[in-house]
A and B are shown apart, each in its own frame.
Chain A
Amino acid sequence: MIRFGPLIVLAALLALWQAAGMAMRVETLPTPLAVLPELWALFASGEIWGDLRASLYRLAAGFVLALATGVPLGILCGRSAAVRGFVSPLLALFYPVPKAALIPILMLWLGAGDLSKITIIYLSVTLPIVYHGQQGAAAVEEKLVWSARAMGTGRAGVLLRIILPASLPELLLGVRVAIVIGLIVMISSEMIVRQNGLGYDIFNAMDMAQYRLTYAVIVVVAVLGFVLDATFERLRRRLTFWAPERQDQLPTGA
């Protein structure tokens, strides 16, 4: 029952959409049944793959960079008051900035290619990773550290073998938030710049009055979001099965 919860909800949402489409009877709100052939054609013709690949490549590249720099920085912030004193005001400064909106500026600096888009994703997903890494590392039970030190673990060993695993549950919650934020930034920057990618496809189809196509691409984005989140969630649960599950952490982000 619990396992199939999302599927049941999905079916209900689709039914709702279908009912709304049938009630409104307008071109701008096609029913899911009318969108389905369009969706099929998108994949069958191979049209969508290029954009999907372009979008996902930027997301992945930005993400890998963010993990590589954000995790160590977050952990250091959590364990060192000096690092925290330097980094947290900067985090607070950038927190309310609409990162995706920086894309026109970054394009001035880095050109119109992938680099500016990867940078924008990197900037926006690093923030939650650093923040949650810091929260996790700061909350590590001091007596765990003392126990390890007493058993002869060195400073680096403590960071790597005690602090990192102990902050993993919180850190991975941050990564989960980051995935959602990354998607949002990816789509919105593609909508602003309008060169390629899924965000571009949605608007392009709308501008050309291909409304069914618009909805079809939105469905692709929705499925992508759900699959990415659900896949990561399985991984997260496997990695932190030993930690008490926190219920109130579900994905949202800006």
Chain B
Amino acid sequence: MILRALRSCYSVLLLLAAWELFARSGMVPRTLLPPVSLVLQRTAIALATDTFVADLATTLFRLLAGLALAVGLGIALGVISAQTRAGRAIFEPLVRVLGPLPKIALFPVLLLTLGFDNTPRIVLVLIDAIFPVMLAAHYAARAVDEKLIWSARAAGTSPTGCVLRVILPAAMPQILTGIRVAAVIACVVVFLSEMVQPGDGLGDQMIRAARAFRSVDMFVPIVVISGLGFILDTLLALVRRRALGWAG
């Protein structure tokens, strides 16, 4: 089992080995490229350090709060807008205008209007992560086979009941895929917000390390936030497989 898992990602192992050898070969100074073993060792130490864990907790809070809001609002807005002709007419142009806008550019606005603490970062995560959820919910809700809805309506289900008990479950596989994308976006965005406007959190750790030219410590926050993204993504994939075994 383990052997097969290792063989399936041999390229990753090769890459890590090459990094390690190259860093140890003396061809590059350690300050530019520390060996991967050192980075991982330092990551382990950091994860046992109170200050680092406090920053991790701060980041995690912002990330999860923003993501939870994005999921809740995204599903609600996406599904509800799909129910009326007006909602469908507004949805696409709205997304065409707001979708390509790099939301991080709005971060200064959020800082100016919401203060410099958690709120602007949570809102930034929200406005970035909401798009994949909302898009998935909207188009999945629109694509629900009308005969499923008719079957329920004939059995006496009200239009609201149809939304909750037919459209929502039918759209759930796509919505969960959207949430997976949103989770990774949320990790990236919260980290960037902490780098752009440092103060605390993992991104702040990165900036502090960069300013002090502590190169190993620059890799550590990146490894941790990427690991967080990977874990969230894997958990959501697990949820999808568990809860949505019915989907083909």
Contacts and interface: CB of A to CB of B under 8 A. Distances in A.
A–B contact with Cβ pairs below 8 Å: the answer is yes
Interface of A: 1, 5-6, 8-10, 13, 24, 26, 28-29, 85-87, 89-90, 92-93, 95-102, 104-105, 108-109, 179-180, 183-184, 186-188, 191-192, 198-199, 202-203, 206, 211, 214-215, 218, 221-222, 225-226, 228-230, 247-248, 250-254
The binding surface of chain A is classed by DSSP as: helix
Contacts of B94: 9
A228 B128 CA distance: 19
B106 interface: yes
A33 B136 CA distance: 35
Contact of B113 (A28, A199, A229): A28
Instruction: Identify which of A8, A109, A226, A248 gathers the most chain B CB atoms within 10 Å of its CB.
Output: A248
B144 interface: no
A248 B109 CA distance: 30
B192 A101 contact: yes
B99 A251 contact: yes
A192 B210 CA distance: 11
A99 B113 CA distance: 28
A226 B97 contact: yes
Given A96-B233, A203-B196, A206-B112, A187 B104 contact: yes
Interface of B: 8-12, 15, 31-33, 89-90, 92-109, 111-113, 128, 131-132, 135-136, 139-140, 142-143, 174, 181, 184-185, 187-189, 191-192, 195-196, 203, 206-207, 210, 213, 215, 218-219, 221-222, 225-230, 233
A7 to B, nearest CB: 8
B176 to A, nearest CB: 15
A228 B102 CA distance: 12
A86 B14 CA distance: 10
A98 B188 contact: yes
B128 to A, nearest CB: 7
A105 B229 CA distance: 20
Nearest to B222: A101
A10 B187 CA distance: 29
B135 A252 contact: yes
A190 to B, nearest CB: 10
Nearest to A88: B11
A191 B104 contact: yes
A211 B98 CA distance: 22
Contact of A229 (B93, B100, B230): B100
Contacts of A184: 102-104
**3 nearest A-B residue pairs (beta carbon):** A96-B229, A5-B93, A229-B100
Residue among B108, B109, B195 with max Cβ neighbours from chain A (10 Å): B108
